[in-house]
């Protein structure tokens, strides 16, 4: 279907892609992985034709239809959902709009006979064109797709701006699917989506007809969706069959095999070099030594495996021990922009809790964290902290408070003045500040880089209570693993808002779900929460069936 053949890409700032070869076949679901800056998005741009490769080529049939789902869906004010989906049929929509204009002019009953004749002739022409496009069937295609996207029948005439970002993403996906693509490209599609929408998206993509190539740092999403992984590392692409977990296992096996082969070859090379050095000047064996030297020069060298820094461990610095009850929230009534979020809600956070706060977008997760740390006022209720609580807080916009004139390394050193320089550089490296990047001034960093630096700094500051709002945004997988390791070993207490299910499962020991303005507590991790929700759903369905059965029996007895 499509193949990248020895593609390279060099910018003025350096070489991003060195030797990239991989293919996607009909119906395959492919995950592109690699650290931030590895060139994943560049590969999508090359496939789309937005960038030209420096060398190599992209082989594809001329008939191949490639579609791209952007991270951000731009809603057009005033359009209904159906009108937005209709824009997928650009040519047909132009003809349809022309037909509407002609009909409006005819309704005005033109008195000019020539004008009337022209309008009737144009009406016939555009109706024929619309029929040739099978235009009258397009409306039914939209109607058929709407339920698949999760929309109710009454949603067709609602304005797109009435829907959340997750629902607008569904509209964007719907527009793409209506164009019947052969290949669908997605760049971080789960960013800013709530858990319900993420789960819907992965199930939908799994069953959809087009092949899919997706860039994602969401490991659970990759595990459930893809059947092939393409890893880009230091400009070179490697292909692994299976999902993300299979890729990790196979990568470790390849790494061990390569290391073993590298060590064997190094021993052999060392042995040959000793022989050459010993007999280079020998009257009887110099010819043999020179022959071996030539063979050695021609020998293809096995490279050492690339180290991925996964062995580095980081821990939060020790903090004083807090009381058993860290936070108590009483009778919380809170609204945001006149939208009621909590009504008389109660919650107790105990020492050692690593709580994942769940709920759909807009339910008040981030607002609640701001209330706890004192930056958001409530209509009623209070929050009280236990004895000796030391607060550390990571907000989504924490990066804005960084010192602009300090370098990356200086910013980290300010938080841990006694930490060894190597430890600070190692931490910076895990958050993608490598080489001279540690000397870059904060004011020169991108928004994502500032967020990563703010999070790295948090790992250096003593605190026994951590409210964390979307800490994994802008992080690649190695950086997420660093944070996971630190939180897993953390002896304090944390309340975390995140849409990364793999991250939640790794670090959370308690789930708190926001339901109808109240807190519902689950005394276990994410998989435990899913089991309980499934049981609740099954019980609810059984109860509904029993009620229906009783009603049928009552009707039958009349």
Which carries the bigger pLDDT value, residue 384 or residue 556? 384
pLDDT of residue 117: 85
Domain ranges of the chain: 1-65+183-242, 248-298, 325-534
Share of the chain above pLDDT 70, in %: 94
The string of pLDDT tens digits covering residues 351-396 is 999 999 999 888 899 999 999 998 889 999 999 999 999 998 888 7
pLDDT of residue 555: 58
CA separation (Å) from 288 to 1, 267, 273, 278, 298?
Answer: 53, 20, 12, 11, 16
73-93 in b/e form (b: 16+ CB < 10 A) is bebeeebebbbbbbebbeebe
How far is the C-alpha of 540 from the C-alpha of 518, rounded, in Å? 20
Instruction: State the fold for domain 325-534.
Output: Rossmann fold (3.40.50)
Strand duo 29-33 + 211-215: pairing: parallel
Give the CATH architecture of domain 1-65+183-242.
3-Layer(aba) Sandwich (3.40)
Work out whether the CA dihedral 503, 504, 506, 508 comes out positive or negative.
positive
What does the pLDDT average to over 434-453? 85
Say how many C-beta atoms besides its own lie within 10 A of residue 439's C-beta.
Answer: 11
The string of pLDDT tens digits covering residues 267-323 is 988 898 888 888 888 877 888 888 888 888 888 888 777 655 454 567 888 899 999
The string of pLDDT tens digits covering residues 66-104 is 999 876 677 788 899 998 998 888 888 888 889 989 988
Selection from 346, 327, 328, 385 nearest residue 514 by Cα: 346
Q: Mean pLDDT of all residues in the chain?
A: 87
Q: Does the structure show a pLDDT above 70 at 111?
A: yes
Q: Which residue in the block uniquely carries the two structure tokens 């590298």? A: 262
Evaluate whether 1-65+183-242 and 325-534 have a shared fold: yes
Look up residue 123 and give its two tokens. 């009406």
The string of pLDDT tens digits covering residues 479-517 is 888 889 889 889 999 999 999 999 999 999 999 999 999
């Amino acid at each position: 279907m499509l193949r990248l053949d020895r593609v390279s890409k060099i910018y003025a700032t350096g070489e991003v892609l060195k030797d990239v070869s991989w293919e996607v076949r009909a119906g395959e679901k492919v995950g592109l992985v690699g650290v931030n800056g590895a060139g994943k998005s560049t590969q999508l741009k090359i496939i789309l034709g937005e960038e030209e490769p420096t060398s190599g080529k992209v082989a594809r049939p001329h008939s191949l239809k490639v579609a791209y789902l952007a991270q951000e869906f731009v809603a057009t004010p005033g359009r209904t959902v159906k009108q937005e989906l209709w824009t997928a049929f650009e040519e047909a929509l132009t003809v349809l709009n022309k037909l509407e204009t002609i009909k409006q002019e005819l309704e005005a009953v033109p008195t000019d006979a020539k004008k009337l004749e022209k309008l009737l002739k144009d009406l016939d022409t555009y109706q024929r064109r619309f029929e040739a496009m099978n235009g009258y069937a397009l409306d039914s295609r939209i109607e058929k797709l709407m339920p698949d996207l999760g929309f109710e029948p009454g949603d067709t005439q609602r304005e797109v701006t009435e829907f959340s970002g997750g629902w607008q993403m569904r509209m964007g996906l719907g527009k793409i699917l209506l164009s019947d693509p052969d290949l669908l490209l997605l760049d971080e599609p789960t960013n800013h989506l709530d858990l319900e929408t993420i789960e819907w998206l992965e199930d939908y993509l799994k069953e959809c007809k087009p092949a899919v190539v997706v860039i994602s740092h969401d490991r659970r999403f990759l595990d459930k969706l893809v059947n092939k992984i393409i890893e880009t590392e230091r400009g070179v692409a490697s292909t692994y069959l299976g999902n993300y977990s299979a890729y990790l296992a196979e990568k470790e096996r390849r790494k061990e095999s390569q290391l073993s082969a590298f060590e064997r070859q190094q021993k052999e090379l060392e042995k040959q070099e000793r022989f050459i050095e010993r007999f280079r000047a020998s009257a009887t064996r110099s010819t043999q030594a020179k022959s071996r030297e030539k063979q050695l020069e021609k020998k293809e060298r096995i490279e050492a495996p690339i180290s991925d820094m996964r062995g580095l461990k980081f821990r939060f610095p020790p903090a004083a021990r807090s009381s058993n009850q860290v936070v108590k929230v009483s009778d919380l009534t809170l609204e945001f922009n006149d939208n009621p979020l909590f009504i008389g809600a109660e919650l107790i956070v105990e020492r050692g809790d690593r709580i994942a706060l769940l709920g759909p977008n807009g339910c008040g997760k981030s607002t609640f964290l701001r209330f706890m740390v004192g930056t958001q006022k409530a209509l009623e209720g209070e929050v009280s902290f236990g004895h000796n609580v030391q607060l550390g807080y990571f907000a989504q916009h924490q990066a804005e408070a960084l010192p602009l004139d300090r370098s990356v390394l200086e910013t980290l050193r300010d938080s841990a003045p006694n930490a060894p320089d190597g430890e600070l550089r190692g931490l910076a490296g895990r958050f993608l500040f490598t080489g001279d990047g540690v000397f870059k001034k904060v004011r020169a960093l991108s928004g994502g880089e500032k967020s990563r630096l703010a999070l790295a700094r948090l790992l250096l500051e003593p605190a026994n209570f951590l409210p964390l709002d979307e800490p994994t945004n802008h992080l690649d997988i190695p950086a997420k693993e660093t944070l996971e390791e630190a939180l897993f070993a953390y002896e304090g207490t944390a309340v975390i808002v995140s849409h990364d299910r793999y991250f939640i499962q790794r670090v959370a020991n308690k789930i708190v779900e926001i339901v109808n303005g109240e807190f519902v507590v689950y005394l276990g991790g994410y998989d435990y929460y899913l089991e309980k929700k499934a049981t609740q759903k099954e019980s609810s369905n059984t109860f509904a069936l029993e009620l229906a059965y009783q009603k049928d029996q009552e009707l039958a007895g009349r």
